[in-house]
Structure 1
């Protein structure tokens, strides 16, 4: 699982990303991404002022959601397997992802035939296309 602070949880958060975000596509996945503004709900809370008082740099963690429709597979077992693989890949890539983004990964029906290595490669490719990765985006993780 991704840490709580790195999850998109509510449908309205997904809708904001769909409505105002950028789109990048590969053969098995679609990435919708949106950089959050400084005055978002997280920044309004006391976390920002507390971090500034302690002399620490305040940042908003990147939040990630995964959307997979029944169109991909009627079997929940298969859909859940794909989600687990995507989450595992994102856990590996999370330290390299810039802070302050809301990202939604949409799974295409072709992803059913995908193995973990292909998904990991496509995740990194999408994040590099969207210019969300820190550091060397061409580094081979496999």
Structure 2
């Protein structure tokens, strides 16, 4: 099951804004780029955070593998949904080394990135 439409980055303009003005946090398998929409006046009222997942063919030539990784990341986002602060636009970029990761590893890494970017509370 995917993310609800209200939680998805869907157009190029949103992705471009996040890439251009967002803060970046790195881990061995993922890069998190986040833009606080409230501070950058993209939207006036805080809405649910929006997510985009970027995974290139450098990770794997097989769509099956890329889609499995995307499903795992979407599952983590759904499980962390209540803890994530509203009003953020977030792009998660998957690195080629991530092909070896299991769900638990993605979970731990994504939580650390969200804490580092101060999107979820670190306590």
TM-score exceeds 0.5: yes
1:74 aligns with 2:75: no
Per-residue deviation, residues 82-103 of structure 1 (Å, max 9, x unmatched): 0000000110111100110000
- Tell me the number of residue pairs that the alignment of Structure 1 and Structure 2 aligns: 121
Aligned partner of residue 96 in structure 1, secondary structure:
coil
TM-score, normalised relative to structure 1? 0.81
Cα distance in 2, alignment partners of residues 88 and 29 from structure 1: 15
Write the mapping of 1:1-142 to structure 2, written as runs, cut at 5 A: 1-37=2-38, 39-40=41-42, 42-43=43-44, 59-134=46-121, 137-138=122-123
Which protein shows a greater Rg? 1
Cα distance in 2, alignment partners of residues 95 and 59 from structure 1: 15
Q: Which runs of 4+ in 1 moved over 2 A?
A: 37-40
TM-score, normalised relative to structure 2? 0.93
Q: Which runs of 5+ in 1 are unaligned?
A: 44-57
Cα distance in 2, alignment partners of residues 102 and 66 from structure 1: 11
Cα distance in 1, alignment partners of residues 13 and 58 from structure 2: 22
- CA drift of 1:4 comes to 1.1
Per-residue deviation, residues 56-82 of structure 1 (Å, max 9, x unmatched): xx5321100000000110000000000
In proportion to residue count, which structure has more helix?
A: 1
